[in-house]
Amino acid sequence: MNKILAIGGVVVFAVASTTALTGFNATALANSNSAQNISENGKRMAAKKAITIWRDPNCGCCDTYADYLEANGYTVTRVDDRNFDQRSVDMGVPERGIGCHLSEVDGYVVSGLVPAEIIERLVTDRPNITGITLPGMPRNAPGMARTKTGTLKTYAFGEGGVSVYSNE
């Protein structure tokens, strides 16, 4: 039996048959699964945009860098830690590769003033590494300069050793 109903100015065509109801149930189930996947992806996207920074409380560039990340859509948690360098080594950053602070984003360790677009690539591509580092305090890096200029060499590190992750 087919019916045309008008509900609040919207015309609805209703079909009452076993096939239509079965199709509806399968569609509802598929939509339910899609909604669950979208919800999980949304949680993952939110996790990607949440970043924790351990930094020396006397370091001004770390605050400038945190502001830069916030301007690029991240929610930044700042943790004062005078021993962030030891924490960096404990989390897998090579001792010679320590940056001016330590971050963690979506399960990855990020050391130093790594540009936001490189962090985005890291959490999107999800390589099998512990993290990335931009050693030291390069003068042309976000946090040191108003905008990134020139080339910055970022290294990947993990069980497979150390390699160049980005040179841009």
Q: What percent of the chain has pLDDT over 90?
A: 63
Q: Are residues 15 and 91 in the same domain?
A: no
- Count of the separate structural domains present in the chain: 2
Q: Are residues 93 and 36 in the same domain?
A: no
Q: Are residues 69 and 114 in the same domain?
A: yes
Q: Are residues 109 and 163 in the same domain?
A: yes
Amino acid at 106: D
Helix (H) or strand (E) holding 105: strand 101-105
Q: What percent of the chain has pLDDT over 70?
A: 71
Backbone angles phi, psi at 117, to 5 degrees: -65, -25
pLDDT, tens digit, for every residue of 53-83? 999 988 888 999 999 999 999 999 999 999 9
Q: Are residues 35 and 62 in the same domain?
A: no
Show the domain range for 157: 53-167
Helix (H) or strand (E) holding 65: helix 60-71
Q: Are residues 24 and 102 in the same domain?
A: no
Q: Are residues 109 and 33 in the same domain?
A: no
- Does the pLDDT of residue 41 top 80, yes or no? no
Alpha carbons 113 and 137: distance in angstroms, whole number: 7
Q: 123, 106 in Cβ contact below 8 A? A: yes
Place of tokens 């930044």: 76
Q: Are residues 73 and 22 in the same domain?
A: no
Q: Are residues 23 and 75 in the same domain?
A: no
CA angle in degrees (0–180, nearest 5) for 148-152-153:
160
